[in-house]
Amino acid sequence: MSAAVHEDEAISRHTSFRIGGGADAWVDVADRAALLRVIEFCHDAAIPWRVLGRGSNVLVSAQGLRGVVISLSGELALVRTTSGHVTAGAGAPLDSVVESAEHAGLTGSEFLAGIPGTVGGALMTNAGAFGSSLSDIIEGVRGYDAKGCGWETTSDQLRPRYREPLIDRGLLVTEVIFRLNKGSPSASADEIRRQRWAKHPKEPSAGSFFKNPIVNGERTPAGRLIDECSLKGTGIGQARVSERHANFIVNVGGARFVDVYELAQLVKARVEERTGVMLEEEVRILPEPATEAR
């Protein structure tokens, strides 16, 4: 069994925003046996726990995260391919799924190229781009519940909604099976990465901050609405609405949670005032209710 425990770990070291208070205990878990031990310990001791991937779609408050924060690595981050399928550990980077599929001559996952998150994290937001979403290519999901009991589900049992969790938050994912196709993609993963990196800001951020809302029956880019409200460059403290992409709030150096949070509320208020559209955060603001041991 392999697990490393770090007490009072700074969450800011583990988020793409470089923001966040401390975790009571940060546990790096590298295999299923150790993961089960951690879950069972938390259950028996009534300690709340949560899993955090690469911290690329979260904003963590200065108060930090109570209980145990689990990070998945080792065998829980491996990717393997078989005929028409890619099976990935929940801790695997999305780019590893794309690269493994490419090497196996499988297509269908290219839209995930360059998204800086893990498979498990992507499952909790139904991550997507270019008109495709994670739910389009999933065949099955396996994991544990809050008591350490194994569970698995198939694609027809998922809840494929726009930027919403595909499974209940109280479940812990260990691996996802992707159903892909043989053939050549219409656009290579490298081309998609170049497109993504060309328009995204270089400063620390959590990715697209707001969901694209439905306006007049169509999904409309939140960045366009924010830009039309002349909000690019608007800042509070060391947080700014990116000049490169209006749907990114960036940390220009030492931004605090409160800077980003208040700037997000200002953006929402200004867009609603001028367009009548209420934006909704895509970024998860933590803490939110953790998986309680029970």
β-sheet with 249-251: strand ranges across: 235-236, 239-241, 249-251
Give the angle subtended at the CA of 248 by the CAs of 245 and 251, to the nearest 5°: 120
* Residue extents of the structural domains in the chain: 3-74, 76-182, 203-285
> Percent of the chain at pLDDT above 90?
83
pLDDT 10s digits, 77-94: 999 998 889 999 999 999
Q: Stretch 138-161: mean pLDDT, rounded?
A: 92
276 pLDDT more than 80: yes
Please, what's the b/e burial string for 139-156 (b: 16 or more CB within 10 A of its CB; e: otherwise)? bbbebbebebeeeebebe
pLDDT 10s digits, 280-291: 999 999 997 444
Residues in the chain: 294
Query: How much is the pLDDT for 1?
Result: 57
Query: How much is the pLDDT for 48?
Result: 93
Say if residues 135 and 126 touch (Cβ distance below 8 Å). Answer: yes
Architecture of domain 3-74: 2-Layer Sandwich (3.30)
AA identity, residue 293:
A
| Cα–Cα distance, 211 to 161 (Å, whole number) | 12
Q: Which residues are catalytic?
A: 163, 208, 282
pLDDT 10s digits, 237-267: 999 999 999 999 999 999 999 999 999 999 9
Please tell me the CATH code under which domain 203-285 is placed: 3.90.78.10
Please, what's the b/e burial string for 200-238 (b: 16 or more CB within 10 A of its CB; e: otherwise)? bbebbbbbbbbbbbeeeeeeebbbebbeebebbebebbb
104 pLDDT more than 70: yes
The CATH fold assigned to 76-182 is 3.30.465
Query: How much is the pLDDT for 154?
Result: 92
Instruction: Give this prediction's pTM.
Output: 0.90
Q: Stretch 54-60: mean pLDDT, rounded?
A: 94
| Cα–Cα distance, 164 to 126 (Å, whole number) | 6
